[in-house]
Structure 1
């Protein structure tokens, strides 16, 4: 096969699908992802995220088309409601959920990523139903990751999350959020501007994954399969970024 050094014919689509499904079933995709990242670090292309990381989430539409819409859909960054759907059995994807973002409605999942704050290499992928609160999910997203500082937008601003970072000895880079009768101070506004300047790497990451890697909509149903697809997209994203970095180094060497 071209560039791989493997001999023999290219596996057909069914074989590749079964192999991918087997990796997901055995929970090996995350292991492959971590090994590729480690190899990039060993080659000096990727910087260890311990110096700083950025967290954010994006909506991934379900492969299934829900045949009924919710009454009282959860609005993005608000807590989930108790009654989610009158006829959930009518969707082929029982784990996908409705979410209202702005004036638009989405049925699907929420994909979280943690990137390094330098080049924006993806370090970790975490998938939930779309209606899951970003504020309450931070602990699960960063579990097991090592970093000195974590940057995040206002969606992660809560006393619990700030205490979590403090307990993990991680510098708090979460933006400040104004509350009723409590506007932001001049210092908090300045800190928000500084943090915003660090977050562009994760926003650019989502732009590439959705536009270039065509991941606006999932190809499969169920959370674990959609997460597996996002991990594969993350691998491609990191390798693509590594290629551009090495190409730049060679050009100016």
Structure 2
């Protein structure tokens, strides 16, 4: 009898988890109008056609599979298996019981099509537009920060070099007797990733420069090699966001420069960049108090990065190259914003 009760409890737990997942998926489908998303994707999605000329899978089926893969930190092969096995997954992506999930090669090809067409930013903008209309995203203030995404495809062992001869294009003769040495990249190394030392630790990979609202919801992403300085990447991501005039822009000391403050003034935005002291000019007590006030809001972007790392196994590049890593950053931003949306809507309703 005790064993039977234990089995029933375990079964009840599984059913409860399934209901939670299905409720969340239903909430997202009720919140988001997917038709504009399909319209953006179909700009480029034409491969994998049947003899009739129609795509083998609806573009939304494949995009929602990408979303599931990001939410649950799955590989292409794992998400294919899960969509076939889990009723809640297959229902969310729009497949019936008799349908088979797209194979991993189809999912990978779909992602590459969107990367090549540079459509991921458009998808994030459209989803955020809808969330802003529903009061989920509020642009009273914006927070700027950067985080490193490590690449596992780092150089290992000794560096190898090849000799490159500098020849005259017309005569074909060497311009000088000196030959140049060029570092040879091994085939398993990500050639677009770079090294950076942060908090005393070496990282090889990329950097995501994010702008969030005051709740930490991601507005835009810019991706660079890891060795790019934060201070030089304030204006570019902010240009992607349609912020109202006089919006407060929060950032840590790494962005403190006269040039950045002039940039914000030119964009008609208000600077809330934390003050950085130097040997020649130590920060005043007033500036210290201002820094404390700014940090109470600015930390929310760090919470966003931490949540993406914990919830979606972020912080590690899944693919090779800058463009594909940027697509990963965008999908993590979409997944994060949607994951938090139902809770924000409930919280707004209770105010």
| Category of TM-score, reference length = shorter chain | 0.7 to 0.9
* Cα contact 1:88–1:94 (8 A) shared by 2: no
* Cα contact 2:212–2:219 (8 A) shared by 1: yes
Asked if residue 31 in structure 1 is aligned to residue 125 in structure 2, the reply is no
Answer with 230-239 or 211-220: which moved more: 211-220
* Cα contact 2:95–2:101 (8 A) shared by 1: no
SS across alignment from 1:219: coil
Partner of residue 154 from structure 2, selected from 62, 65, 68 = 65
The CA deviation at 1:68 is 5.1
Answer with 200-209 or 137-146: which moved more: 137-146
Aligned residue for 2:326? 227
Matching of residues 2-151 of structure 1 within 5 Å: 2-7=91-96, 8-47=99-138, 49=139, 51-67=140-156, 87=183, 89-90=185-186, 92-117=189-214, 119-147=215-243, 148-151=247-250
Deviations along 1:65-95, one digit per CA (max 9) or x if unpaired, are 222589xxxxxxxxxxxxxxx8362362111
SS across alignment from 1:2: helix
Q: Measured at CA, do residues 163 and 249 of structure 1 come closer, stay the same or move farther in structure 2, by a change above 3 Å? A: closer
The CA deviation at 1:21 is 1.1
- For structure 2, list consecutive stretches of 5 or more residues without a partner in the other structure: 1-89, 160-181
Q: Measured at CA, do residues 249 and 190 of structure 1 come closer, stay the same or move farther in structure 2, by a change above 3 Å? A: closer
Asked if residue 153 in structure 1 is aligned to residue 252 in structure 2, the reply is yes
Q: In structure 2, how many angstroms separate the alpha carbons of the residues matched to 1:228 and 1:88?
A: 27
> TM-score, structure 1 length as denominator?
0.86
Asked if residue 214 in structure 1 is aligned to residue 308 in structure 2, the reply is no
* Cα contact 1:52–1:149 (8 A) shared by 2: yes
The CA deviation at 1:142 is 1.4
Q: In structure 2, how many angstroms separate the alpha carbons of the residues matched to 1:180 and 1:126?
A: 32
Q: Measured at CA, do residues 57 and 88 of structure 1 come closer, stay the same or move farther in structure 2, by a change above 3 Å? A: farther
* Cα contact 2:137–2:213 (8 A) shared by 1: no
Aligned residue for 1:244? 343
Point out which structure has higher relative CO (alpha carbons under 8 A, 6+ apart). 1
* Cα contact 1:109–1:129 (8 A) shared by 2: yes
Q: Measured at CA, do residues 54 and 68 of structure 1 come closer, stay the same or move farther in structure 2, by a change above 3 Å? A: farther
Deviations along 1:168-206, one digit per CA (max 9) or x if unpaired, are 110001011001121101111111111101112101100
Answer with 59-68 or 228-237: which moved more: 59-68
The CA deviation at 1:249 is 5.7
- For structure 1, list consecutive stretches of 5 or more residues without a partner in the other structure: 71-85
Aligned residue for 1:73? none
Q: Measured at CA, do residues 249 and 116 of structure 1 come closer, stay the same or move farther in structure 2, by a change above 3 Å? A: closer
Q: Measured at CA, do residues 212 and 168 of structure 1 come closer, stay the same or move farther in structure 2, by a change above 3 Å? A: same
Answer with 176-185 or 1-10: which moved more: 1-10
Q: In structure 1, how many angstroms separate the alpha carbons of the residues matched to 2:93 and 2:337?
A: 18
Q: Measured at CA, do residues 18 and 196 of structure 1 come closer, stay the same or move farther in structure 2, by a change above 3 Å? A: same
Aligned residues: 234
Q: Measured at CA, do residues 212 and 144 of structure 1 come closer, stay the same or move farther in structure 2, by a change above 3 Å? A: closer
Name which one, 1 or 2, has greater alpha-carbon Rg: 2
